[in-house]
Structure 1
Amino acid sequence: MAITSMPSDDGQELTITIQGRFDFGAHQEFRDAYERVNTTPKRYVVDLKGTTYLDSSALGMLLLLRDHAGGERAQIRLANCNPDVRKILAISNFEQLFQIA
């Protein structure tokens, strides 16, 4: 598992990329990815292209990111979801809270 974050050139968007399993073992690394950046982005993209698995703790971590990003006003897009990840997000009604692409 590897989690990286990359701000856009203008600092308005932060892309967090998750490779491998997204579970409780990723908790601190995921938080660091958005808390330890030098900018205050307006938008977040969580790139799940390389994510092979996510569990309920990963869903909780996404909710913590949402709170950090402004709650109801947060602009967070979950991108490049494989069919298994998309199914878990749909069962959890996350399309009500996040833009899923």
Structure 2
Amino acid sequence: MSVESEVSLDGTKLTIAVKGRFDFGSHQAFRDSYERFYKVPDIYVVDLKEATYLDSSALGMLLLLRDHAGSDDADVRVINSSSDVRKILAISNFDKLFDIS
């Protein structure tokens, strides 16, 4: 498991890439990936291209990110999710809270 983050040159977009298992073991690394920036970005992108597993604690971490980003006013996007992950997100109604592709 690893979590890597990269901010755009203009500081408006933060991309967080999750690799391997996205579960409770990722909690601290995931929080650090967005809390360590002084300037709050306008857009948060969670890239799940290399995520192999997602559980309920990962769903909770996505909700914490959304709260950190501004709750209902937040622009949080989940990209490159597998069909299985998209099903989990849809069943959990996360497609109503996040832009998922």
Q: Is the 8 A contact 2:40 2:69 kept in 1?
A: no
Q: CA deviation at 1:84?
A: 1.1
Partner of 1:78: 78
The 5 Å alignment of 1:54-65 reads: 54-65=54-65
Shifted more, 84-93 versus 64-73: the winner is 84-93
Partner of 1:40: 40
Q: CA deviation at 1:83?
A: 1.0
Provide the TM-score with structure 2 as the length reference. Answer: 0.97
The answer to whether 1:4 aligns with 2:4 is yes
Q: CA deviation at 1:40?
A: 1.5
In the alignment, structure 1 segments of 5+ residues that lack a partner are none
* Number of equivalences: 101
The percentage of counterpart residues that share the same residue type is 64
Q: CA deviation at 1:39?
A: 2.8
Provide the TM-score with structure 1 as the length reference. Answer: 0.97
In the alignment, structure 2 segments of 5+ residues that lack a partner are none
Partner of 1:91: 91
Structure 2: how far apart are the matches of 1:20 and 1:38? 27
Match of 2:66, SS?
A: helix
Structure 1: how far apart are the matches of 2:68 and 2:48? 19
Question: What RMSD in Å do the two structures reach over aligned CA positions?
Answer: 0.7
Match of 1:32, SS?
A: helix
